Structure 1
Amino acid sequence: MKRIRDLQFWKLFGSGTGEGFTPVPNTEVYAILAVWPSFDIAKSRLEDEGLFNRYRNKCAEHWTVFLQTSSVRGRWSDANPFEPGTATDDGPIAALTRATIKPSVALQFWKRVPAISTVIGSDSSVLFKIGVGEVPWFHQVTFSIWPDLTSMSHFARKDGPHARAIKAVRAGDWFSEELYARFAVREAVGSWQGKNPLAAFKPEEGGP
């Protein structure tokens, strides 16, 4: 990965079982985060670089989502890999949260995760969601795609397991590093469990 031209930032992830929001590893699902200077360069490198072709040849299926940053706050590996641009929140939008969990509170954190997973799994608004991680149990990432900012904000702020977990995180200072980013979804190619999760999404008139 370090030798790939124009690759500005990258991370390799494992996942948990189910939709990824569990402490039990899933050895069948992996993810790559890659940051590029532009949309065109991203598409070109993903199509032409031998490493990505080798990954695809070893996969039963693969799905790639191209994103453009609309907002970001926090740090990741003591850096900010995402540069906000002109992306809007018209929809669909993707939300990414990343945190380094302090070892002393890891058990408390994971006790809350199943309830959050149940709530997001039953939310009909979410178009896609998965939990992944750089280091099992301690470096966690959540990634979700929503039709619009309203539906995402409603889930994040309504009273329930997610809102209560956020309060506990703030009160207990559970994270040693965290980052929150929001993106416009430019394009999605490939399949996830036999289909493109965004293929049936139809933005409202005036959207992208």
Structure 2
Amino acid sequence: MQQVVSLSFYRFGSLSARLWAFAQMGLARRGMARTPGIGFWKLCGTGTGEGFTPGPNWSVYAILATWPDEATARAATASGVFARYRARAIEDWTVMLRATDARGHWSGETPFQTTDRIADGPIAALTRATIKPGIARKFWGRVPNISARIGQDPAVMFKIGIGEVPLLHQVTFSIWPDVAAMNAFARTGPHAEAIRAVRDHGWFAEELYARFILLSDHGSWEGRSPLTAKEPA
């Protein structure tokens, strides 16, 4: 068996549904811990705009989890906590992933088991960091430039910022058509400058970088699967 990572997104419409989703950040923890087959998991909120911003988006929430195999992941994400989220959401999308590279820690753990399979199609990237409180202002001064640049990149298929704690715990997740497109973005412009600043000044107390191949998806986001080709402008 090879580990599978699920990342599920839920959009909530009414005020009551949004309040329910916000409350689940605490209330759903017991149900998540009891989910059969689950490994590492996180309940997350999301950012506004392109996602890589300090302002929270009260209508969108995410659940990340690891599983021993895809069959277990599919069964679990169709039941329990996941089903309750889906029942109240106006839209949801889940993508199944397998890590090809992972470096660093998340809450003191190494959550992703890697495969030696080479990506021959779309690839996903996830970065997660605990930002040192004393430099949070400097960090968020850099992020809007990255957010604007990634939003303008015609190659990116999907992008969002999620996190456990606003301002201090930040996760960025993006999907690209291939490794070359992702590397072209990562090695130039504001993103590369921000990475150099992180290394030079030690902005992060903890960090993790991971890449994934895409196995499958179900549901929709903004009316379609983000893995399908975009309609011409």
Same-fold status (TM-score > 0.5): yes
By how many angstroms is 1:40 displaced? 1.3
Counterpart residue number, 1:138: 168
Mapped to 1, the partners of 2:80 and 2:65 lie a distance apart of 15
Counterpart residue number, 1:204: none
Residue 74, structure 1, aligned to residue 104, structure 2: yes
Specify the code of the residue in structure 1 equivalent to 2:207. E
Residue 14, structure 1, aligned to residue 45, structure 2: yes
State the SS of the aligned residue for 1:135.
coil
The number of residue pairs the alignment matches comes to 199
By how many angstroms is 1:199 displaced? 2.0
Residue 87, structure 1, aligned to residue 117, structure 2: yes
Residue 156, structure 1, aligned to residue 180, structure 2: no
Counterpart residue number, 1:28: 59
RMSD: 1.0
State the SS of the aligned residue for 1:62.
strand
Mapped to 2, the partners of 1:86 and 1:28 lie a distance apart of 37
Counterpart residue number, 1:171: 200
Instruction: Output one character per residue of 1:121-180: Cα deviation in whole Å (capped at 9) or x when no partner.
Output: 11011110001111000000000000111110111012x111111111100000000000
Specify the code of the residue in structure 1 equivalent to 2:213. A
Of 110-119 and 13-22, deviating more is 13-22
Unaligned ranges ≥5, structure 1: 202-208
Mapped to 2, the partners of 1:50 and 1:188 lie a distance apart of 19
By how many angstroms is 1:200 displaced? 2.3
State the SS of the aligned residue for 2:77.
helix
TM-score by length of 2: 0.83
Counterpart residue number, 1:205: none
Residue 147, structure 1, aligned to residue 187, structure 2: no
Instruction: Output one character per residue of 1:53-84: Cα deviation in whole Å (capped at 9) or x when no partner.
Output: 11100101000000011110001111101000
Specify the code of the residue in structure 2 equivalent to 1:112. R
State the SS of the aligned residue for 1:8.
coil
Specify the code of the residue in structure 2 equivalent to 1:136. P
